[in-house]
């Protein structure tokens, strides 16, 4: 699944470890999310969007 987690994380000056802690996941899980190797749960997707103050679609753009 495509996502903008890495870009949003960089814009907010967060390390993978810091963002992972805020989302309550491991750094390894966050890395897998950023590289598209793992699809987030709906709850995790909403948590990420809320953390960055954007809509879910802005973090995880729909694939066309």
Of the candidates 16, 55, 54, 57, the one whose C-alpha atom is nearest the C-alpha of residue 35 is 16
Model's pTM, two decimal places? 0.90
Please name each of the domains of the chain with its CATH number: 5-59 (1.10.260.40)
Tell me the H-state helices in 1-64: 5-11, 16-23, 27-34, 42-52, 56-59
Distance, in Å, from the CA atom of 14 to the CA atom of 7, rounded to the nearest integer, reads 10
DSSP 37: S
pLDDT band at 64 (very low <50, low <70, confident <90, very high): low
Region 16-31: mean pLDDT is 97
* 34: helix, strand or coil: helix
């Amino acid at each position: 699944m495509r996502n903008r987690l890495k870009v949003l994380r960089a814009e907010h000056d967060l390390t993978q470890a810091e963002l992972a802690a805020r989302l309550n996941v491991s750094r390894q899980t966050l890395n897998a999310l950023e590289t598209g190797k793992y699809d987030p749960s709906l709850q995790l997707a909403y948590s990420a969007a809320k953390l960055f103050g954007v809509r879910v679609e802005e973090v995880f753009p729909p694939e066309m």
